[in-house]
Amino acid sequence: MLPRYKRILLKLSGEALVGENNFGMDPKIIMSYAQDIKEITELGVQVAIVIGGGNIYRGMNEAETGIERAQGDYMGMLATVINGMALQASLEKIGVYTRLLSAIKMEQIAEPYIRRRAIRHLEKGRVVIFGAGTGNPYFTTDTAGSLRAIEINADVILKGTRVDGIYSADPEKDPKATKYQSISFQECLSKNLRVMDMTAFTLCMENKLPIIVFNMNQPDNLKRVVTGEQVGTIVNG
C-alpha cells in the first residue's frame, strides 16, 4: 500500500487527549495515537506533529483570571511541550524514533527548533514533534502548525479532530448540517466556515497547502487518509 503523501504535518487537539477524564491526558488515547502514527511511518511517510495544550491550559479571559494575555499564551505553550513529551514517550515505547523540538529554549528536555535540523530528522525517518507553538504570544497552535508545515515543505496538513470533516454548520448543534467532501479555500471564507483561525488558514491558502480535516479518534483513519482514501474533508485551491 503506497502512501499518497511523502511528508505530512499532523495537527492534534490538546482537548482530544483528555479522553474520559475531565482534565489532563488519557494514556490510552495517547497510546492509540502513537500506534496510528507508527503505522504510517512504516509506510515510509515522514511525520511532523503539532499538539495543542487545551487539555492543560488554554488562554482564558484576562478579566476572569487576572493573567494578561501574553503571560497566558506562554503558559499554553508550556502545556504543548508537556503533551509533546507524553506523545514522545508513547512513541518511543513502541519503537518509533522521535525528536521533540521546542520554539522556547529548554535544552534539558527538548532540542531548540531549527528548521534545517527538523528537516534532517524527518529525512532520517524520525517523527518530529514541534512544541511551544511559534514561541510568540497571540498565535494559536493552528498557526504554529501551518507555519511549521510550510517551513518543512509538508505535502499536506492533517487536522485530527473529533468530527469527521467540515460541515455547513456545527453537526453537534445542528442535525441538518451537511458534510463537504471537498471545498476550496475561497468557499470556506465566503461561507464563514471556521476550519482554523484566520492567520493559520491564510498561511495555508497563500502557500497552496491543502488541509484535510478528519476524525482522528476513528481507528485506521490516519492510515486511510495518507493512502489517499476519501476520509474527512479536503480544503484546497
Per DSSP (E only), the strands in the chain are 7-12, 46-51, 98-102, 111-112, 127-131, 156-161, 166-167, 179-180, 182-184, 211-215, 233-236
Beta bridge partners of residue 160, listed in sequence order: 12, 214
Which of 107, 60, 110 shows the shortest CA–CA distance to 80?
110
| The pLDDT value given to residue 60 | 65
The answer to whether residues 102 and 81 touch, using CB atoms and an 8 Å cutoff, is yes
Model confidence pLDDT, tens digit, residues 125-148:
999 999 999 999 999 999 999 999
Specify the 3-state DSSP secondary structure of 120.
Answer: helix
- State the Cα–Cα distance between residues 123 and 197, nearest whole angstrom: 30
* pLDDT attached to residue 48: 98
> What φ, ψ does residue 159 adopt, rounded to 5°?
-95, 100
- The overall average pLDDT reported for the chain is 94
Residue for cell digits 522521535?
98
Q: Stretch 28-32: mean pLDDT, rounded?
A: 95
The residue assigned the cell 531549527 is 114
Per mean pLDDT, which range of 11-25, 29-43, 109-123, 126-140 is the poorest?
Answer: 11-25
Q: Treating both helix axes as pointing N-terminal to C-terminal, what angle do 69-93 and 27-41 enclose, rounded to 10 degrees?
A: 60
* pLDDT mean over 160-178: 89
Per DSSP, the chain holds a count of helices (H) and strands (E) of 8, 11
Average pLDDT over residues 75-96: 97
Q: What is the pLDDT of residue 45?
A: 98
Question: Does 91 score more than 90 pLDDT?
Answer: yes
Domains and CATH numbers, the chain: 7-236 (3.40.1160.10)
Beta partners for residue 128, in sequence order: 48, 99
Nine cell digits for residue 217 = 479518534
pLDDT at 19: 84
List pLDDT tens digits, range 43-84. 999 999 999 999 998 766 677 778 999 999 999 999 999 999
* 207-232: average pLDDT: 95
Contact call for residues 236 and 180 (beta carbons, < 8 A): no
Is the per-residue pLDDT at 149 higher than 70? yes
10-14, 59-63, 99-103: the lowest-pLDDT one: 59-63
